[in-house]
Amino acid sequence: MSFSAVTPLLQTLSTSDEVTLMSTTTWTRRHIISLADFTNEEYDTVLRTAASFREVLSRRTKKVPTLQGQVVANLFFEPSTRTRSSFELAAKRLSADTLNFTPGSSSLTKGETILDTAKTYLAMGTDLMVIRHREAGVPQAIATEMDRLDSNVGVLNAGDGQHEHPSQALLDLFTICSALDPDYPSFSLLKGKKVAIVGDILHSRVARSNIWSLTASGAEVHLAGPPTLLPKLFEQYTASRDRPSSSLIPHPSPGKLFLHWDLNPALEDADFVMTLRLQKERMTQNLLPSLREYHQQFGITSDRLKLCKPNVKVLHPGPTNRGVEISSELMDDPKISLIPQQVTSGVAVRMALLYLMGSGKA
């Protein structure tokens, strides 16, 4: 189910005349579960709206009344530091009331089902639910149930198993576009750029969401990792992108996806390098000989970056394991690392998503 909102952002964003970035925004998506069917217009809307909120966050008073009276529930069934805090801060900056759920101290321990927990939050008047779960499909199941109940609730996937993590990929996109043009971080800036995604691709929902957004932008995406962490099944993403727009995945893609079991070809002439954590909590068997050997083969260091474009930038969704997927020295190098900017961008991008999803209900 979808709803339509044409929102005069100028009116809702500012109590003064200070915001001049946008006039109107159209948004028709009720839930954000995956980026597989995101359109280029939606990417651009998110980027432009996030740029407006970045401006709000640079003011002395970093708060707007946009979602006043609305309730945002953060239902994190899996541990999280930055995503959860970022969504909470974003909701508070929009003046929404926030509810935070911790599974260990909830009625889940008394046998309540996840859907019943979600329905409890619905009955309390929740407008937006931000869901993280270790199993793929839980946010979609809750969204389907909310629609079946004919509720107005919007569901945002904050990471489900190995499936997707759309808000992370959108904040990565905003960070990359802002590095290319700080004033106008638009989607088209990525066309022809080379982005390497390195590491534990198999277990990464971040990589899966980034594959959709980055290839849709026209960037070349080069995945690199050992064969145990980058199985050939990832070639199916390239195949599905080549299908006509009437197919199951109706996304037009001018971008290309490449797989490498060696790091060097992925790094050669790269504009951006995204490193990923080895997600041991999702590994069911021993997939690596040792962390030391992994670092030698796939760890990102200043020396390795010499293969890339001279002003290459490095990203990491966090949390990082210093000295494993990325050297400690590189992580702290402000000329190369965009990691702090990713965290900062996260608040503006999540404000944009909550705003766009919540605007139809205001």
Q: How far is the CB of 316 from ligand NCD (least distance, A)?
A: 9
With respect to ligand NCD, which residue has the nearer C-beta, 82 or 304?
Answer: 82
Instruction: For tokens 């700080």, name the residue.
Output: 182
Question: Pairing between strand 24-27 and 71-76?
Answer: unpaired
165 binds ligand NCD (CB under 6 A): yes
225 binds ligand NCD (CB under 6 A): no
Question: What are the DSSP E strand ranges found in 238-350?
Answer: 256-260, 272-275, 313-315
The b-or-e profile of 232-244 (16+ CB within 10 A means b, else e) is: eebeebbeebeee
Q: How far is the CB of 136 from ligand NCD (least distance, A)?
A: 12
Which of 279, 301, 321, 344 binds ligand NCD (CB under 6 A)? It is 279
Contact in structure between 40 and 187 (CB atoms under 8 Å): yes
241 binds ligand NCD (CB under 6 A): no
Contact in structure between 203 and 161 (CB atoms under 8 Å): no
DSSP states of 38-97: --HHHHHHHHHHHHHHHHHHTSSS----TTTT-EEEEEESS--SHHHHHHHHHHHHTT-E
Separation between Cα atoms, residue 64 and residue 53, nearest integer Å = 9
Site for ligand NCD in 53-82 (CB under 6 A): 82
- Size of site (CB under 6 A) for ligand NCD: 11
With respect to ligand NCD, which residue has the nearer C-beta, 27 or 294?
Answer: 294
Q: CB nearest ligand NCD: which residue?
A: 277
Contact in structure between 82 and 98 (CB atoms under 8 Å): no
Separation between Cα atoms, residue 216 and residue 34, nearest integer Å = 14
With respect to ligand NCD, which residue has the nearer C-beta, 8 or 319?
Answer: 319
Contact in structure between 197 and 221 (CB atoms under 8 Å): yes
Q: How far is the CB of 278 from ligand NCD (least distance, A)?
A: 8
Residue 315 tokens read as 């990203």
Residue 77 tokens read as 């069934």
277 binds ligand NCD (CB under 6 A): yes
157 binds ligand NCD (CB under 6 A): no
Site for ligand NCD in 188-217 (CB under 6 A): 205-206
With respect to ligand NCD, which residue has the nearer C-beta, 189 or 274?
Answer: 274
29 binds ligand NCD (CB under 6 A): no
With respect to ligand NCD, which residue has the nearer C-beta, 196 or 206?
Answer: 206
Instruction: Express the helix, strand and coil content of the chain in percent, nearest 5 each.
Output: 40, 15, 40
With respect to ligand NCD, which residue has the nearer C-beta, 54 or 277?
Answer: 277
x-or-dash string of contact with ligand NCD, 305-324, rule CB under 6 A: ------------xx------
How many other C-beta atoms can be found within 10 angstroms of the C-beta atom of residue 118? 27
Which of 139, 154, 159, 255 binds ligand NCD (CB under 6 A)? It is 159
Name residues whose C-beta falls within 8 Å of residue 166's C-beta, 6 or more positions apart in sequence. Answer: 32, 33, 34, 35, 38, 156, 157, 209
Q: How far is the CB of 123 from ligand NCD (least distance, A)?
A: 29
x-or-dash string of contact with ligand NCD, 81-100, rule CB under 6 A: -xx-----------------
Q: How far is the CB of 226 from ligand NCD (least distance, A)?
A: 17
168 binds ligand NCD (CB under 6 A): yes
Q: Which residues bind ligand NCD (CB under 6 A)?
A: 82-83, 159, 165, 168, 205-206, 277, 279, 317-318
